[in-house]
Structures are given as C-alpha cells and as structure tokens.
Chains A and B, each alone.
Chain A
Amino acid sequence: MNEKAITCKGLTKRFGDFVAVDNISFEVNTGEIFGFLGANGAGKTTAMRMLCGLSYPTSGEAAVAGYDVFTKQESIKKNIGYMSQKFSLYENLTVKENIRFYGGIYGLTNGELKEKGEGLINKLGLQGESKKMVGELPLGWKQKLAFSVAIIHQPKIVFLDEPTGGVDPVTRRQFWDLIYEAADSGITVFVTTHYMDEAEYCNRISIMVDGRIDALDTPASLKQRYRAETMDEVFYALARGAKRSAD
C-alpha cells in the first residue's frame, strides 16, 4: 500500500492575529506510528483537531485517510479513532455497555459487537470486570480499555492525545504493546506525548515549535543531526528557543 494515511500541505490555522498553526506540511505513511511532539502551546492540539475533522483550517490543504479535511469531514470521522487522556469512557456505564455504545456509534452489527467485545475483554484480561462500572477500574486499565474501544471499528488511523499521562511504568509499556499491535494490524497511529522515551517507540516523529514543524525524521536521524544521546536532548535543543507564551 502506497497510499499515505495523512498528507498536509501548508496547513494553517489563525485565531484573529494569532497563528496557532503556521504553514505545516508533512505526510504520514500507512501503518506508521507517528509521534507528534511539541512544547505546551506549540499548536499540537489545534493541528490535531483539524486533522480529526473537528475544525476547518484557515488555509492550506490536508487529506486524512484519503479524504479532504475541507469537504469530507464526515468521511474522515468514520475512518478514524480518537482517544485522549481527558476523553475516556463513560464512568457510570459498565465495561460492556461502553463497548456496545461506542461500537454502536461506529455502526458495528450486533454479531460484530459481541465477537469484538468479547475478544477485547479477553485480550485485556477484563473477564471478571466486564460488568463493573468503568469508574471503578484503575486508571491504567481505563486507558487501555479506552484505546481498545477507540479502534474497535478498525479505523484507518487512530489519533492518541497524551494517552499515557499519569500511568504507571508497567501499564505505560503495556499500552505501547497495544499500540504496536494496532500498527501491525495496519492501523496508522498518530500520537502525542510528554514522555520522551515514548518518542523513541515511534517510527518517525515531528517536533512543533511556535506553530511550525521544526524537525521531522526518525528518532535515530534526529539524534544524529542534533548530536544528542536521547530524544530528551533533541527536544530540549529545539523547544528551548520557543517564543510563544500563550497556552
């Protein structure tokens, strides 16, 4: 498959005088794990919203899963999954009810729901908890469950906004196992994180500074280019120069 999962060219978003996203261009390959990094206020969230079909760009062009962000927002939404640290599941619905609800939204049939739901519960080892309210689960399980639900309809691309914030180190790695598995099954993963070690798990990463993408490459090449030992240093070298103060 040569088709690109995401392409964007000169993508820009202005709020009044403020240029939140300043003329960014990049491509994400199908099946790739793409790390989308940047300092607070660099414009990550704004860019991600445009790609998810939640807001229109001011100028530029972009296509997600082959669909134009200006004209085909509804098609984009059918073909992506989304999960963030803040958006999770309904706390007062049970594990099963959440799965059924989100599966239903994406148009899974009853048969599919049953099969996928059970598969998902077994994979996460939640057999004993399937009738528990999601609110009662530990954070790590919630996040894993939220991710699995976000890809229950086998989307072409899944957007993950700081999915592992505040999670313990073991669960964090289990979460990345799930990400790898999703990527192996052909889902393109677009992920933001504040953990620099997680940047290393991505195939390629981009680093946003003040609304622009200042660097985009594989972790290894970036480290080489900035003569750094770790991604932490690369990030520091780039983001230190950030001027933007608004969040």
Chain B
Amino acid sequence: MKQFLVFVRKEFYHVFRDRRTLLILFGLPTMQILLFGYALTTEVKNAKIIVVDQAKDAASQQLIAKINASTYFDIDPGEDIEAAFKRGNIRCAVVFPADFENEKRIQIVADASDPNTAKTLTNYLTAIIQPPSAQPYQIIPVTRMLYNPSLNGSMNFVPGVIALVLMIICTTLTSVSIVREKENGTMEILLVSPFNPTYVVLAKAVPYLVLSLLDFILILLLSVFVLDVPIRGSLLLLFAESSLFIISCLSLGLLISSVTQSQQTAMLISMMGMMLPTILFTGFIFPLENMPLPLRIISNFIPSRWYYFIVKAVMLKGLGFWAVWKQTLVLAGMTVTLLTISIKRFKIRLA
C-alpha cells in the first residue's frame, strides 16, 4: 500500500512539474468550454437590424423599444434597407407601414443567404412583436421551450463538451504518461521491481482519475457561472456517472499505451483518433438520428455517446437514476471490458 501511495505521489510530481501536462489538463477544458459556449453557438446575438418606422405612432414606438431592448438585435440607425443588405451590414429589416395602427401589419425582411440565421431571427422578431394583450379574435401561439426556456444555446453544448474534454484528457494523459516511462527506460526498472505490474497500471490510473474529476469540477463551475447552465439533477449521481466514464477513458488510454512506443504516437492517437469519433458520434453536434444505419451502429460503441445522454438527463433535465440506468449499464459494461483488456494487455515483460 505504501508503495502504491508513493507511486501516486510521483505521478503528481510529474504532472505539476510539466507545463505541457498542466496546459492540457486545465487550459484545454477552459478553452473548449469558452469556445463552444461563446463562439460556436447556433444562437444569434446582436444581429444588426434596420427599423423603418413610417407610422411613427405610439404602438410602433413601443414595439421598436422592445426590439431594441432585446439582446438579439442591434438597431442600425441607417434608412436605406437595400443598400445595407447589399453591403452585408444588416441581417434583417423591419418596416412599419404608415397605417400600422389600422392594418396591424408589418413587413420583415431577412437576409436568407444564411437560411438558418434568417429563420431564427424572424422567429425572434415574431415573438417580440406579438401584442401584449390578447385580442378576443386572435389566437396567440404559446410556445414553451422545454428545459431551455430562454433558448440558452450553451446548454446543448455543455454536456457534449464535458464528454469530449474528459475523453481527450483522460486518454491522452494516461497513454502519454505510460509511454514516457517506456521512452525513458524507467518502465524497465518498474517491471524489474517487485511491484506488481497490475499496480503499476492502477497507480497510473488513480492520479489521472483524481485530476479528471478536478477537471470535471472546473467545467461545471465554468458552465454554471460563465455560461449560465444550471445543474438540475443530483450532483452525486453526476459525479458517480462521470467517474465511470473517466475510468472507461483511462482504460482506453492504457490500451493505447500498450500498443505504442513513442509519446508522439500516443499523443496523436489519443488526440486525433479520439477527438473525431467523439465529435461525430456523440450526438452533440450532429444528430445521431439523421445518420445512416451503419454509422448509428458504430456510434453505439462510443462510450461518450452514452455518457452524453446521461449528463443531459441528469444535469439539464434533473432526472434521477431510474431514467439513465440502461445507459449506465452499457457504460459500465464498456468500462469493465476496456479495463480488463487493458490490464490483461499490459505486459509484465517488455515484449
């Protein structure tokens, strides 16, 4: 046991003395969360818009004030709609006709060269200009956005980014740290020592489990306080599920380390080889339902797919274990298989 602890302490020395590892460990998740949270959202914020008010009455002024107050739009002082569209200055334009009060009609023009944005913006606008009080003869569609009433775009990404970051960090760090021992020749000494080779594997895994959980906390904090994503479910359940996922990723890292001889190869396989399948087959960017059958089948073998479902359910929907037990079981099965293979494959000899 003492040997084990000393080994774990040594791993921590390695991590805290290596700037590159620290950067991967804490820089990568921060960067990813901020990137996905702010830069890569499908949400449209501060879209430039021109409002032409030919009515200039109380009703139109009130609506313009509402549009102006929305964070989605930025009113451009310009008047020439056509020119502004041509220059690409504005995304959208609203025209209040002179007899707005009577006709109750307005014109919305959107730049549909980017159809998604155009659609989103017209939807926003339609929502804003609904009259505050219902007229008896008018049917006002009431839409409620489930789980994300404010349509906060970060929500969709956060569970995905958590899965992605943990996947990459766990596999990269474990595989690189083991392969580094091979490169330095220290692996030979470890193997020649009476220290049980299985413990070598475990002693490598424990520090990275701890560090990955730290990472997980960091991501959660960033999500809650920077991206305003709430945690609705049980924190304990979330941690338990994450630990399970982390262990499966660690096992994958161990597996990679047993087939590679150099740090660069290990890095390449775990970064590149894991990043793409995770992004493609987790479902947080590309909906899995739309994929052809073979790809859907492949996606079932990606642990992050199941973890993503679990995090969404627990964190965003506030669901309990009963809702995710099936996915948990699949993930647990994968973890046990991976861990067994990687311990079995970890050689007690050099070749």
Q: Do chains A and B touch in the complex (CB under 8 A)?
A: no
Binding site for B on A (CB under 8 A): none
